[in-house]
Amino acid sequence: GIQVEQSPPDLILQEGANSTLRCNFSDSVNNLQWFHQNPWGQLINLFYIPSGTKQNGRLSATTVATERYSLLYISSSQTTDSGVYFCAVTKQAGTALIFGKGTTLSVSS
């Protein structure tokens, strides 16, 4: 099956710093989503981005489908950005998401 690898596994930042999280996948996909899991466990949808670039405030994401990777950019990080960031993909339309193991981000003030 398709493999999803996220890097780095852990990231520690000072408030105000920028960061880039990477997601590599082993096969072509037709869906790619980025999530933020908050301290209560809730998965918050950040981006649906099977290809191209999107921006939402301080967050942006780019997926290069032909090279099988996606990047999540966080600028001017805040303590509320702390948590686990997951990348998840589907290979076929309508099937379930396959998750990476996540990147744990800790932002200190």
Partner 1 sequence: SQTIHQWPATLVQPVGSPLSLECTVEGTSNPNLYWYRQAAGRGLQLLFYSVGIGQISSEVPQNLSASRPQDRQFILSSKKLLLSDSGFYLCAWRDLQVTGYEQYFGPGTRLTVT
Residues lying near partner 1 in the complex (CB under 8 A) are found at: 30-31, 33, 35, 40-43, 45, 48, 86, 88, 90, 93-102
Q: CB-wise, 41 or 57, nearer to partner 1?
A: 41
Through-space distance between the first and last CA atoms of the chain, rounded to whole angstroms: 41
Q: CB-wise, 47 or 74, nearer to partner 1?
A: 47
The residue written with tokens 């852990």 in the block is 10
Q: CB-wise, 19 or 33, nearer to partner 1?
A: 33
| Separation between Cα atoms, residue 98 and residue 56, nearest integer Å | 24
Give the nearest distance from C-beta 101 to partner 1 in angstroms: 5
| Separation between Cα atoms, residue 87 and residue 104, nearest integer Å | 12
DSSP for residue 49: -
N residues, the chain: 109
Give the nearest distance from C-beta 34 to partner 1 in angstroms: 11
Give the nearest distance from C-beta 71 to partner 1 in angstroms: 19
DSSP for residue 9: S
DSSP for residue 15: T
Q: CB-wise, 45 or 66, nearer to partner 1?
A: 45
Give the nearest distance from C-beta 40 to partner 1 in angstroms: 8
